[in-house]
Copies of this chain bind each other. A is one copy, B any other.
């Protein structure tokens, strides 16, 4: 299997194992000193152990579905449809991999809805 295929499979396994609360499978995808970052809140969780605890403790009955995975060598991005109950939110996740195909860094963005600014109504459709 080439590096890009290995990366793509690992990102899919990352989302699936989180969705299934299969903590051992999720943990096995990560290097021990991996880092998880949330740039919007300037938060960083250093290390697999703390990251696993973060996931286990995360409140709410959350669910994740892959919209798209884009893999490219040791880098990947995942476009995710996340929901808690009827509330949906998209997420954009960026991944970096080690030599041996483990995840060393995850950077998550959780963009919120906003009202469109005025001045471009002549160009846009809404849905």
Task: Report A's interface with B, CB cutoff 8 A.
Answer: 4, 8, 38-46, 50-51, 53-54, 57, 59, 68-72, 75-77, 79, 90, 92, 94, 107, 109-116, 119-120, 123-127
A76 and B51 CA atoms in complex are apart in Å by: 27
A54 and B79 CA atoms in complex are apart in Å by: 25
Would you call A127 and B44 a contact (CB within 8 A)? yes
Copies in the complex: 2
Residue on B nearest A92 in the bound complex, by CB: B92
Would you call B109 and A111 a contact (CB within 8 A)? yes
Would you call A41 and B114 a contact (CB within 8 A)? yes
Q: Which residues of B contact A46 (CB under 8 A)?
A: 125
A123 and B70 CA atoms in complex are apart in Å by: 29
A49 to chain B, nearest CB (A): 10
Which of A40, A53, A70, A120 is the most central at the interface, judged by chain B CB atoms within 10 Å of its CB? A70
